[in-house]
Amino acid sequence: MTGHDLESVALTLVAEGKGILAADETVPTLTRRFDALGIRSTEENRRTYREMLFTTSGAAEFMGGVIMQDETIRQKSSAGTPLAEVLSGQGILPGIKVDTGAKPLAGSPHETVTEGLDGLRDRLAAYRGMGARFAKWRAVIHLDDVLPSLGCVSANAHALARYAALCQEQNLVPIVEPEVLMDGSHTIERCEEITGAVLHAVFHALFEQGVALEGMLLKPNMVIAGKECSRQAPVHEVATATLRCLRRHAPAAVPGIVFLSGGQNARLATTHLNEINRLPGPKPWKVSFSYGRALQDPALEAWHGRDENLSAGQRALYHRASCNGAASVGKYTDEVEAGAPGADDPPHRRDWRDD
């Protein structure tokens, strides 16, 4: 694959009206989500759930790609087709999470550094052979009055850049995900300051490692107040601060910015994305979604581990995917949302967290 091919895969992921479904929860994370609903986390149940999501009729219209994790990319559908082929057969690009998780950072016990670089070249080659066209690595930044430390930001930026360079070498488009968490009581202003500093460090590291910006996607958090902050900024303020921060720190050569939902409820994540796309002024990148919880929560809730609910689960996913597809072009309205099955937060999901 040439640099041009990487760019065309990146652009396909964020084609007009499309975004990405993040369905790459690790087994322990998905088990916690299943446990909350009383669903047994067997390999078969996890496969059934992912197959339900991946075979949702019409969802390909709004999903340029789906991110899987190791177990899923090795699984086959009930008809015996590898799940990666189930996706590519519908024109959805298969992707793969390749980090091995956020681990305690030596010397700073409340912070983490994401691991997984050892042996990564060989793992990427193997995933490419299984049909993956893009990859994901998530760095996690904890925020309070003092944190993050410089050491945490630079260690995570370095790892993201090393990962991204290896992906491009192995013909995979890297999704670069530095997530500043919503946990805590910080203000939106503090989130903007730290998100900007983190993006600055990440793009500096990407430059040092020779990553071609045209052949990657950025997956950032939105600029938003901490969940426990007494002042939650209104939608327009979140959108304005997020776009300002990205204009300052995300180079125009990056083809697309695909937000994580980070614990926002499903409708709010859609509303914020829509508002960002409706703001005036330059947006040199496609601005879309790569949501996990905000796309899956209503579908998981509707399915509830029962075969008789598979089509209800698919309807719920289709609905959220179509709403977010509309938001990715600034055309989400109350009418588009109307009739949404279960779009609000189910009460059990507040502690859901990927590792």
Contact set for ligand 13P, span 43-82 (CB under 6 A) = none
Min dist CB 8 to ligand 13P, Å, is: 23
| 23 is an interface residue for ligand 13P by CB under 6 A | no
Choosing from 138, 249, 315, 320, the residue that interacts with ligand 13P (CB under 6 A) is 138
Tokens (6 digits) for 256: 């697309």
Min dist CB 135 to ligand 13P, Å, is: 12
As a residue count, the chain comes to 355
Min dist CB 346 to ligand 13P, Å, is: 14
Spatial distance between the Cα atoms of 67 and 175, rounded to a whole number of angstroms:
10
| 262 is an interface residue for ligand 13P by CB under 6 A | yes
Q: Provide CB contacts within 8 A for 82, sequence distance 6+.
A: 73, 75, 76, 130, 131
| 22 is an interface residue for ligand 13P by CB under 6 A | yes
By beta-carbon proximity to ligand 13P, the closer residue of 76 and 227 is: 227
Min dist CB 63 to ligand 13P, Å, is: 14
| 195 is an interface residue for ligand 13P by CB under 6 A | no
Alpha helices, DSSP H, located in the chain: 3-13, 27-36, 43-54, 70-73, 83-88, 120-129, 150-169, 188-208, 235-249, 266-278, 293-303, 310-327, 334-337
Helix (H, G, I), strand (E, B) or coil at 45: helix
Helices 293-303 & 310-327 angle (0-180, nearest 10): 160
Strand pairing category for 102-105 and 217-218: unpaired
Contact set for ligand 13P, span 289-328 (CB under 6 A) = 291-294
Options 50-58, 258-266, 317-325, 329-337: segment touching ligand 13P (CB under 6 A): 258-266
Choosing from 66, 141, 260, 317, the residue that interacts with ligand 13P (CB under 6 A) is 260
Interface mask toward ligand 13P for 158-177; x: CB under 6 A: -------------------x
Spatial distance between the Cα atoms of 259 and 116, rounded to a whole number of angstroms:
22
DSSP 8-class letter at 142: -
Min dist CB 178 to ligand 13P, Å, is: 11
* Amino acid sitting at position 270: T
By beta-carbon proximity to ligand 13P, the closer residue of 289 and 311 is: 289
By beta-carbon proximity to ligand 13P, the closer residue of 28 and 210 is: 28
Task: Select which of 219, 275, 286, 301 is catalytic.
Answer: 219
Torsion 246-251-256-262 (CA) sign: negative
By beta-carbon proximity to ligand 13P, the closer residue of 301 and 354 is: 354
Active site residue 97: no
Active site residue 237: no
* Interface with ligand 13P: number of residues (CB under 6 A): 11
Spatial distance between the Cα atoms of 140 and 219, rounded to a whole number of angstroms:
12
By beta-carbon proximity to ligand 13P, the closer residue of 1 and 71 is: 71
By beta-carbon proximity to ligand 13P, the closer residue of 73 and 308 is: 73
Tokens (6 digits) for 225: 């107040």
> Which residue, 17, 23, 10, is CA-closest to 51?
23
Active-site amino acid positions: 177, 219
Positions touching ligand 13P (CB under 6 A) are 22, 138, 177, 260-262, 291-294, 354
